Amino acid sequence: MQRTLKPSSKEDKEPADPAITKAYLPYIKGTTDKISRILQKHKIDTTFTPYRKIHSILRNSKDNIALESQGVYEIPCGGCGLSYIGQTNRKISARIEEHKNAVKKVQATSSLSQHVTTTGHTIKFEDAKTLASIEHCTSRIIREAIEIGKRPHNLNTRDDALRLPPIWKASLIPRQQKWTTSKTDSKKEETKAGKQIVKAGKTEKVVKAVKVSPRDPTTRPQTRNQSRATASESKRLHKEQHIQQEVSSVRVTRSSSRQLLT
């Protein structure tokens, strides 16, 4: 009874507001801001997310093969651009660490160490990449030989690698490399031929062939300077003839006047 008759000291509380709802919208300048202001009036909190672009949706055509598998790998040199090709049945990353230690310790049996000692170049171990991830041992060795054959200029000096028959080189070397090689060879031949011509020109003059008319073998086409010279010569002869005629006419007049006086 006392509890019921006792006035309540606490005022009746209003019902709590419902939980605020969140909306996740991709941010588009000018559009998302307007939508956010409208949603705030209805007690909806807005969270902006990065706008998804097309390149993030499409699949990357160049998949990066991690160095945590066994297979064939490539280590480039930062000084000359040549590469070392190798294969391992362990993690490629572990094999690369072994190459690093060999270079630091200047091991004579290491191809990379020999290259660094001889040239002073820096090996770019951070740019090492996996060429093929292969578990089978024989397939790995063959693939290593193929990759070495595709790069005739490399840093591999060991003789224990598999050697492919020479007939394989025609199909392994890329067409662009063949074209570049043939183009370089042709340029060398042209330069060599040019030097020979210059050398021959020091001892004898090179006479250019002039086309002769098939009807008259003695006639030769005149150049512009020759034609001008011929025209000026004809004018001079015509002028001399005219002067001679005038002189002869004067002589005739004098002789006739003398006859009249006598």
261, HSE (Cβ side, Cα atoms, 13 Å): 6
Rounded to whole angstroms, how far apart are CA atoms 23 and 42? 12
Domain count, the chain: 2
* Residue 177: pLDDT over 70: no
Single-letter amino acid, residue 61: S
- Enumerate the β-bridge partners of residue 88: 71
Do residues 220 and 210 touch, judged by C-beta distance below 8 A?
A: yes
Is 75 within 8 Å of 124 (Cβ atoms)?
Answer: yes
Average pLDDT across the chain, whole number: 73
pLDDT for position 254: 62
CA angle 190, 149, 112 (to 5 degrees): 100
DSSP 3-state of 47 = strand
The verdict on 102 and 163 lying in the same domain is yes
Q: Is the pLDDT of residue 233 over 90?
A: no
* Judgement on whether residues 100 and 148 belong to the same structural domain of the protein: yes
- Cα 26 to chain centroid, rounded: 39
Which of 41-55, 91-105, 126-140, 193-207 has the lowest average pLDDT? 193-207
Tokens (6 digits) for 259:
């006859």
pLDDT beyond 80 at 162: no
Residue 224 within a domain: no
- Confirm whether 244 is domain-assigned: no
pLDDT surpasses 80 at 212: no
Q: What is the mean pLDDT of residues 65-69?
A: 78
Q: Which of 175, 191, 207 is the last residue of a domain?
A: 175
48 and 84 housed in the same domain:
no
Q: Does residue 158 fall inside a structural domain?
A: yes
179-208 confidence digits (pLDDT tens): 444 555 555 655 665 555 555 555 454 444
Residue 151 domain boundaries: 71-175
Q: Within this chain, do residues 46 and 130 fall inside the same structural domain, yes or no?
A: no
Nearest-angstrom CA–CA distance, 153 and 177: 12
pTM: 0.43
Residue where a domain terminates, one of 119, 147, 175: 175
pLDDT tens per residue, range 112-132: 999 999 999 999 999 999 999
pLDDT confidence tier of residue 58, bands split at 50, 70 and 90: low
Last residue of a domain, which of 159, 175, 191? 175
Residues 30 and 117 in one domain: no
What pLDDT score was predicted for residue 4? 52
Residue 30 within any structural domain of the chain: yes
For 210-225, what is the mean pLDDT? Answer: 51
Q: What pLDDT, on the 0 to 100 scale, is given for residue 90?
A: 92
Tell me, yes or no, whether 142 lies in a domain.
Answer: yes
Tokens of 122: 């820096």
Residue 3 lies in a domain: no
- Do 79 and 121 form a contact (C-beta atoms < 8 A)? yes
Examine the domain organization and report whether 84 and 155 are in the same domain: yes
- Give 52's pLDDT tier (boundaries 50, 70, 90): low
